[in-house]
């Protein structure tokens, strides 16, 4: 029996949207791209042509698109500063929302959107890849095999492709604090979320950041103290790490790279025996796995409610932890 299709709109025209659409075709064809939103028709039509839509599928009025009844779901991948308002526009219209991480700039915005989604009977999901990968259960099992934990290091330092533009004196969106952008919100959030998902609320948190000429944070670190030991988080948009992240216990060590997608997942026991649990996967496919969970939550809200609410609670904790890191680091968005 063929499943009814879900008409999807996209808000944003960056590389991540193209990858997401490719991932949907591979992993969840139930999501069918039907509409593009852009602030300018010229840019919207250019993007629509690129992804195989006709010019009449371009909208330049967000409210009109949300109220049109032509789409049941939306994928939002715009600068962070716009997430909350755009998501709320669709949720109030009863449209299901998958919003790129971080879903909101503040915890208060996130609480408001969750309440709005519940009022409208809509799904609101934060788009963060790692916990929505089938291999995430293998990571949990490997952490359990590691025994009594004593430490963890999550490093997501990735030299930005936009860094040369910054060096030329330009202002790329990713380094613009007016858009609530910077290293913490772009990639540091992946490490924060993973720590929240695996280990929960830390007993203490200490954080520091370094800043760029634009006023945005370019790199940072945080130490999460738990009863069992410390989890060190590092992130940077101005340098590239060559080392995997790791979780260390008295029975073994778990490694993976990168934090965002849990690839090259390995377990090495204390005798030195090394086992590869998961290797490589395309970015498109990882986004497709995330989209597939979004579809499951839409299709089966009762059967997936416990899982859906769990991820919501993790998002709330990650948002609160990120807000505390920002406070300690004096990261300000203008």
> Percentage of the chain with pLDDT > 70?
99
Q: What is the pLDDT of residue 202?
A: 98
Q: What is the pLDDT of residue 1?
A: 40
User: 175 with 212: CB under 8 angstroms?
Assistant: yes
> Percentage of the chain with pLDDT > 90?
99
Q: What is the pLDDT of residues 296-330, one digit of tens each?
A: 999 999 999 999 999 999 999 999 999 999 999 99
Burial class, 209, CB count within 10 angstroms (exposed 0-12 / middle 13-18 / buried 19+): buried
Q: What is the pLDDT of residue 4?
A: 87
* Residue numbers in the chain where pLDDT is lower than 70: 1-3
- Tokens standing for 25? 């075709």
Cα-only R_g, the chain:
20
Residue that is written with structure tokens 């840019």 in the block: 43
User: 246 with 254: CB under 8 angstroms?
Assistant: yes
Domains of the chain in sequence order:
6-127 (3.40.50.720), 131-280+318-329 (3.30.360.10)
The whole-model pTM stands at 0.96
């Amino acid at each position: 029996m063929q499943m009814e299709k879900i008409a999807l709109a996209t808000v944003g025209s960056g590389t991540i949207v193209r990858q997401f659409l490719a991932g949907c075709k591979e992993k969840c064809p139930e999501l069918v791209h039907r509409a593009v939103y852009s602030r300018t028709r010229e840019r919207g039509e250019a993007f629509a042509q690129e992804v195989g839509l006709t010019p009449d599928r371009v909208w330049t009025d967000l409210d009109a698109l949300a109220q049109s009844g032509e789409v049941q779901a939306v994928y939002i991948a715009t600068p962070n500063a716009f997430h909350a308002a755009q998501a709320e526009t669709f949720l109030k219209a009863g449209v299901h929302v998958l919003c790129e991480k971080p879903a909101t700039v503040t915890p208060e915005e996130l609480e408001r959107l969750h309440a709005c989604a519940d009022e409208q009977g809509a799904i609101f999901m934060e788009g963060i890849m790692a916990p929505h990968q089938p291999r995430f259960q293998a990571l949990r099992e490997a952490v359990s095999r590691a025994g009594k934990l004593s430490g963890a290091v999550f490093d997501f330092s990735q030299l930005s492709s936009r860094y040369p533009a910054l060096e030329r004196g330009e202002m790329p969106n990713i380094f613009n604090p007016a858009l609530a952008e910077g290293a913490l919100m772009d990639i540091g959030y992946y490490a924060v979320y993973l720590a929240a998902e695996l280990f929960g609320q830390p007993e203490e948190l200490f954080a520091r950041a370094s800043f760029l000429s634009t006023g945005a944070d370019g790199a940072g670190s945080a130490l999460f103290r738990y009863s069992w030991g410390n989890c060190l988080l590092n992130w940077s948009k101005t340098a590239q790490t060559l080392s995997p992240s790791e979780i260390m216990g008295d029975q073994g060590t778990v490694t993976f790279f990168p934090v965002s997608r849990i690839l090259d997942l390995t377990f090495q026991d204390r005798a030195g025996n090394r086992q590869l649990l998961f290797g490589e996967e395309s970015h498109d496919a990882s986004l497709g796995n995330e989209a597939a969970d979004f579809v499951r939550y839409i299709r089966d809200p009762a059967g997936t409610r416990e899982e859906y609410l769990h991820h919501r609670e993790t998002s709330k904790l990650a948002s609160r932890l990120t807000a505390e890191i920002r406070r300690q680091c004096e990261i300000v968005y203008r």
